[in-house]
Amino acid sequence: METQETLLIIDDDAGLRRALRAFLEGIGLRVLDAPDGVRGLDLARREGPVMVLLDLTMPGMSGFEVCRELAALPGDHHPVVIVMSGLLGTTQRMKAFHAGAVDCLAKPVQYEELEVRVRTHLAIRRNTAALRESRDKLGKALHDSGAMNRNLLALNEKLQRSEAVKTRFLALMRNEIYNPLSDIMGLADGIADPSLPPGKAQELAARIKHEAFHLDCQIRNVFTAAEVEAGESSPFVTKVDVASVAEDVVASFAPMARTRGITLRMDLQGLGADFPTDADMLHHILANLLSNAVQHGAGVAELRATETEAGLVLEVQDAGPGIAGASLKAIFEPFRHADGPFKVARGQGLGLVVARALVDILDGRLDVESEPGQGSLFRVTLPRTTSLANPDAHAQDDNIIFFDEPQAF
């Protein structure tokens, strides 16, 4: 035998048990024995033998009962049972097989036959166990390969989407950067004409400022999106004058709003000068939400801000065409537009994506309420950040930092 396997003999004949034990130990088996079914089952449960030689006729529990109990032991690897009897007729053999035995051996036992049968059934058991293990390994391999294949398909699909996004991004970037630059250069040439009337020069200068402002917003979004994607964007928390930041954002969009015939309003209530957050991210969030309201809205766009128990609540309300509920998710996907009234106007479609990403970085929440024909309301809730990057730093008007006391650098 390649490895020492355990065999259990259950027989009420002590002499036969000793003779069988000596013979089986001589061919390399570890042998246990019991004089009756009760003690035999107890040994089987404790020792887990791979094979049982079982006498059919014993006092107390019969061999048939013991065989059924052995077959009912928990686990997948039940012992191989060979029954022994001096009266092995066809009826007894069939009854033994139905009880769970795999072979029958007539008494008196012929040792050469016993060895052949024991070796054969142990080999079958080992081969069965090896096949079961191979089957389990193959099943796991198939499961793993299936999961890997699904992952590869998902990755391939993601790469295809990324390639499509990159292609659209490059095309839109070409338009969004080249077009304003071309306009700025053309307008600058016009201003350079010495014969240009002063009134016309002021008009061209205003248009240059508008194009430059638009270009600056888009480039900021591109860089911010790239930093977020690379995991390099983290908040620098200071005590922020939220009202000052909001007023600065509204003032910066006032010329664009006038051009589009939109009135900007502010409603700032109960705001302190020391709300703990990242001033630059706050400015960028408000700028993108207000830009969206000005570009897609009409009539009036309002920015509201207040402090509550939940933290800082910011709302940007527009009177635009509104968005159907099924299309709301699309507005937060880069380079996508919703089907229906909502269309991406100028810009790469990064504004709302960047705003949501920055809100997430600040552990906040961005919600939108909109219905066709009813305009849209974007609501940002930012929690109070407990740890400040610099406890003595204050921020106003975006990320301009003022220190309470002189700082050494």
363-400 per-position pLDDT tens digit: 898 888 887 877 888 899 999 876 665 555 555 554 43
Would you tell me which CATH number, out of the four given (1.20.1250.20, 3.40.50.620, 1.10.287.130, 3.40.50.2300), belongs to the domain 154-229? 1.10.287.130
Express as a percent the part of the chain with pLDDT over 70: 79
DSSP H/E element including 245: helix 242-259
In this predicted structure, what is the pLDDT of residue 394?
A: 53
Q: Is 235 helix (H, G, I), strand (E, B) or coil?
A: coil
Flag whether pLDDT at 79 surpasses 50.
yes
Express as a percent the part of the chain with pLDDT over 90: 21
In this predicted structure, what is the pLDDT of residue 204?
A: 76
Q: Is 377 helix (H, G, I), strand (E, B) or coil?
A: strand
> In which band, very low, low, confident or very high, does the pLDDT at 236 lie, cut at 50, 70 and 90?
confident
Tell me the one-letter amino acid at 92.
Q
In this predicted structure, what is the pLDDT of residue 325?
A: 67
Q: Which of 43, 30, 33 is nearest to 10 (CA)?
A: 33
In this predicted structure, what is the pLDDT of residue 40?
A: 92
- Give the tokens for residue 10: 């259950």
Q: What is 120-188 written as a DSSP string?
A: HHHHHHHHHHHHHHHHHHHHHHHHHHHHHHHHHHHHHHHHHHHHHHHHHHHHHHHHHHHHHHHHHHHHH
Mean pLDDT of 53-69: 91
Ranked by mean pLDDT, the top range of 39-43, 294-298, 374-378 is: 39-43
**Cα–Cα distance between 53 and 55 in angstroms, integer?**
7
- Give the tokens for residue 253: 């969009």
Q: Which of 43, 35, 68, 47 is nearest to 5 (CA)?
A: 47
In this predicted structure, what is the pLDDT of residue 346?
A: 44
Flag whether pLDDT at 270 surpasses 60.
yes
DSSP H/E element including 56: none
Strand 80-85's sheet: what is its strand order?
Answer: 30-34, 6-10, 51-55, 80-85, 103-106
Cβ distance 184 to 211 under 8 Å?
A: yes
In this predicted structure, what is the pLDDT of residue 405?
A: 40
pLDDT tens figures, 99-156: 989 999 999 999 999 999 999 999 998 888 888 888 888 888 888 888 888 888 888 8
CATH class label, 6-109:
alpha beta
In this predicted structure, what is the pLDDT of residue 64?
A: 92
> In which band, very low, low, confident or very high, does the pLDDT at 23 lie, cut at 50, 70 and 90?
very high
**Cα–Cα distance between 286 and 379 in angstroms, integer?**
10
Flag whether pLDDT at 409 surpasses 50.
no
In this predicted structure, what is the pLDDT of residue 171?
A: 66
CATH of domain 238-403: 3.30.565.10
Burial bucket for residue 83 (CB in 10 Å: 0-12, 13-18, 19+): buried
State the CB neighbour count (10 A cutoff) for residue 14: 10
- Give the tokens for residue 308: 């509550």
- Identify the residue with better confidence: 360 or 225: 360
312: which strand partners? 307, 382
Cβ distance 370 to 322 under 8 Å?
A: yes
DSSP H/E element including 260: none
Give the lowest-confidence range in 10-19, 71-80, 125-134, 176-185. Answer: 176-185
Mean pLDDT of 282-292: 88
- Give the tokens for residue 194: 């010495």
pLDDT tens figures, 190-204: 777 777 788 777 777
Mean pLDDT of 9-31: 93
> In which band, very low, low, confident or very high, does the pLDDT at 401 lie, cut at 50, 70 and 90?
very low
306: which strand partners? 269, 313
Domain range summary for the chain, segments of one domain joined by +? 6-109, 154-229, 238-403
Mean pLDDT of the chain: 80
